[in-house]
Structure 1
Amino acid sequence: MYVPVRGKLALAMAFAISWVAFSLYVALPWINDLAELFSLPVAWFIVAGIALIPGWANAFLVAGLLIDHRPRYFIHEKLPPVTLLIAAYNEEGCIGDTLRSVAVQDYPGDVEVLVVDDGSTDRTREVVAETIGTLGAGKNFSFRLIPVFPNGGKANALNVALAQASHDLIASVDADTHLFKDALARIVTNIIDGPAHTAAVAGTVLARNSRNNMITKLQEWDYFLGISVVKRIQSLYQGTLVSQGAFSVYRREALEKAGGWADTVGEDIVLTWAFHELGYRVGYAENAFVFTNVPETYGQFFRQRKRWARGLMEAFRFHPRIFTRPRMITPFIYLNALFPYLDLVFLCVFLPGVFAAVFFQYYAIVGVMTLLLLPLMLLINVLMFFNQRRIFRRYGLKVRKNFLGLILYMLTYQVIMSPASILGYFSEFFHFKKSWGTK
């Protein structure tokens, strides 16, 4: 039975609101108890942040997963020419492998690869030149190195490359990212076969170095379950919120109307929201896989997630009108606006409440009511796992048996991520110094 997208949105909203109504009914005694300890406004502040809003978000995702049945796009015998942009800064250890993964792509069309070395202080330029020299000629790929001095940041590097690009389709890939087979062809197929007003399509980014240590194992599940599934559900409502620089494709006309990449730490999310403000659609290619090197130390991870959180705040600052133009992705916009509040409540209220419950048997803040979130959290992770595994199998990939990482991901990931996110929000609010990179 065909259900239009707006009908699916209505069903998902109805399910999420019903869940919140049930949770609120059960939570009323908890709210009254907290009101006696603190005050009624503080009680609502705590319960909404710990249970009600996260419960709504999880229920909305569960409903989206259950009703999402997207079309499958098959690679054409001939595809339009595309320019692939790679911005690199001190990437001598990985840029060569990235270029080789591009060169072996079976793309039925011309590909122009522009590598911008953004004032690197290591051997990145030399490695790029040497690698291009070994790739040979005669295929439908051309490679060119564009040196930029001094270092001007990722957005500037991409804009420099865009100005020299030859084609109407522009793709981007990070310098430490490996393209899986047919990734470029599949992501281009998604944008040309998608609705005519599609400005960009985000690819599926997965962790490449996930076996290295526990930090990378946790991120393996974040990319596999959290990030990919959220993008999938957002695209169901025609509004992926981040067409990430790690791997995406854009229509040049839309890029130029948006003014290219803004000089921000979150240049990809700021650009994506510019597309939404202009009335474009942003999609997601579940079958266009790339594998990126994720941070291997907590310090690198902290800096990356701080930058991502700051990028979100930049997007709101650059595009405040996104609140006032109703569209199907509006629920996600308002949920993103609540992230600082949710992270603050989680870190400053929920975690101390867990500590008090475990060590002092004090259940006023975290008690029986919070157990309502557990079955919903388990359900959504089970649905995400089997959904993603089905997609993997369809395209010849396997899910690695990293179940310890999965358990730790569900129990601890928010704990290690929230401090970085909160610092990122405050960094943007107080206009702290900006920098590119996580290393």
Structure 2
Amino acid sequence: MAIRANVHTKSRYIPVIAKFSLSHLVALVWTGFSIYVSIPWVNDLAEVVSLPLALLIIAGIAYIPGYVNAFLVVSLIFDRQPPFKDENPIRDITILIAARNEAENIGNTLSYIAKQDYGGHLKVFVIDNGSSDETSHVALTSGKKLDLDITGIREENPGKFNALNTGLQHVTTELVITLDADTLLHPSAVRYLVARMESAPENVCAVAGSVLVRNSRENIITKIQEWDYFLGIASIKRLQGLYQGTLVAQGAYSLYKTDCVRAIGGWPDAIGEDIVLTWNLLKRHWKVYFEPLAVAFTSVPNSFRAFARQRSRWARGMIEALKEIKPWQQPQAYTKYLTGVNLLIPYMDVSYTFFWLPGLILACFGFFWIVGPATLLVLPLTFASYSILYKYQKYVFRKLNLRVRKNLSGFILFMLSYQMIMSPVSVWGYAQEVFRLKRVWK
């Protein structure tokens, strides 16, 4: 998947396999160059920790991240998306909203559903997952005031997967959308999401929407996350979509073919239920796309504690998926590769946490054993990938009559410190899964 072909000038079509091969070629050349210029660094570090350990450390903090970033940059350059066959679909759609103690947010969420410019009928199910507040009452009252076709369902068994599976039993439409109770839809969000599904091949079973941050003005923590969603997460989604294997049709806002979800038994009992669901869909020879124009805005954690819990939960969800569906079990070559890359992510996070961060401290005292010149080679690639995506995202915002907020402080901190926070938090999530600690959703 990619942005429309008319972002600039209409270019010659390049097959996906050619894009995949060329991106790999450039990434491998870059990695080879990095290895060559890092030979003095390897030799110096080997005198301190031994050659095998030096190679293990440098591979985790420089070689592999450099390869991944180079592959990402070239893939984004090739990223083009076919136009919609019909931008105004009219198929009936069901929206499932799993809600627990969301009385404060649910009314606003429903008001944005009511503002959709979608031509088909929207049926809304709000599944109250054992709330202790007035979530159900507020939802039904607000829905009726907004003239929505809304139904309330009660599911006492805790867990978002239980709520969604209960709602799935009541779905009679061919397509179903999941939406978080604190997520607000752009007026054209449903229309573009369904249009992408109807423009896609028959074997596409889901389309992930583009989720961005709505509460970035709250504090510096939300300001940093705004750039993560706008550039970081979006770039990964676009890369995966280009190769027809978006790895997470996120529960916050995605569209699914109802029969496909039922065929795999619905949402699994997992802390990353949307990750495992998506990988199970991919395992069935189906494909998952990403639509950047189908934008929704969600509330992100506004404290470090809440942020750490969320991201460690995401990291744990990835390990759950890897344990249940091995990359080599995926039937499609691109999906094998994309899920296989996830096997390297824990290695990179562990290397960053236990080698790069201590190495940075050592560098501050003049010991450049770990953080050396070759480490800086990753930075130009990172800036390049974000610059390319920023240009694409600005086009998306213009198309949707949105404006990119000025958030320079958040961007600077995102570039300089985000990985320092994310890697240790992710490592904690991996440890939770390894030691089978109690699962905490919020």
Q: Which residue of 1 aligns with 2:5?
A: none
1:36-95 alpha-carbon deviations (Å, 9 max, x no partner): 211121011111001000000110110011111111326544421111100001111111
Conserved 8 A contact 2:89-2:191? no
SS for the counterpart of 2:333 is coil
The CA RMSD over aligned residues, in Å, is 1.4
Indicate yes or no: 2:393 matched with 1:388.
yes
| 1:199 aligns to 2:202 (yes or no) | no
How far apart, CA to CA, are the structure 1 residues paired with 2:332 and 2:188? 36
Q: Identify the residue that residue 271 of structure 1 maps to in structure 2.
A: 277
Please give the secondary structure, in 2, of the residue aligned with 1:250: strand
C-alpha contact 2:99 2:128 (8 A) present in aligned 1: yes
- Larger deviation: 366-375 or 285-294? 366-375
TM-score normalised by length of structure 2: 0.95
- The count of aligned residue pairs is 431
Q: Unaligned 5+ residue runs, structure 1? A: none
AA partner of residue 346 (structure 2)? P
- In the TM superposition, residue 175 of structure 1 has moved relative to its aligned partner by 0.4
Please name the residue that 1:92 is paired with.
Answer: 103
Q: Deviations over 1:122-172 (max 9, x none)?
A: 221221122123123xxxx511000122x4210010000001111110111
1:419 maps to 424
Partner of 1:54: 65
* Equivalences for residues 21-36 of structure 1 within 5 A: 21-36=32-47
CA distance in 2, matches of 1:257, 1:129: 31
Question: Is the Cα contact below 8 Å between 1:277 and 1:322 reproduced in 2?
Answer: no
Is the aligned partner of 1:190 residue 2:199?
no
Q: Partner amino acid for 2:418?
A: Y
**Identity percentage of aligned residues:** 45
Q: Which residue of 2 aligns with 1:290?
A: 296
Structure 1 position 394, deviation (Å): 2.2
1:86-125 maps to which residues of 2 (within 5 A)? 86-125=97-136
Unaligned 5+ residue runs, structure 2?
1-11
1:169-184 aligned at under 5 Å gives the runs 169-184=175-190
Contact 1:261–1:267 (CA under 8 A) maintained in structure 2: yes
Out of 86, 91, 108, which is 1:80 matched to? 91
For 2:85 and 2:301, locate their aligned partners in 1 and report how far apart those are by CA, in whole Å.
33
* 1:254 CA displacement: 1.1
Per-residue CA deviation, residues 89-112 of structure 1 (Å, 9 max, x unaligned), is 111111110011111212111111
Report the CA distance between 1:321 and its aligned residue.
5.3
Summarize deviations over 1:301-356 as a string: whole Å, max 9, x none: 01100110010011011112545645113332222111111111111110111111
Superposition deviation, residue 189 in structure 1: 0.8
Q: Which amino acid aligns with 2:126?
A: V
From 396, 401, 404, the counterpart of 1:399: 404
> In structure 2, the residue corresponding to 1:389 is in which secondary structure?
helix
Cα distance in 2, alignment partners of residues 374 and 230 from structure 1: 17
Which residue in the other structure is 1:371 paired with? 376
1:17 equivalenced with 2:22 (yes/no): no
SS in 1 for 2:82: coil
**How many angstroms does 1:258 deviate by?**
1.6
Alignment-derived partner of residue 128 in structure 1? 139
Q: 1:378 to 1:180 in 2, by over 3 A?
A: same
The one-letter code of the counterpart of 1:115 is: V
AA of the residue aligned to 1:183: A
Q: Is the contact made by 1:277 and 1:321 (CA closer than 8 Å) also made in structure 2?
A: no
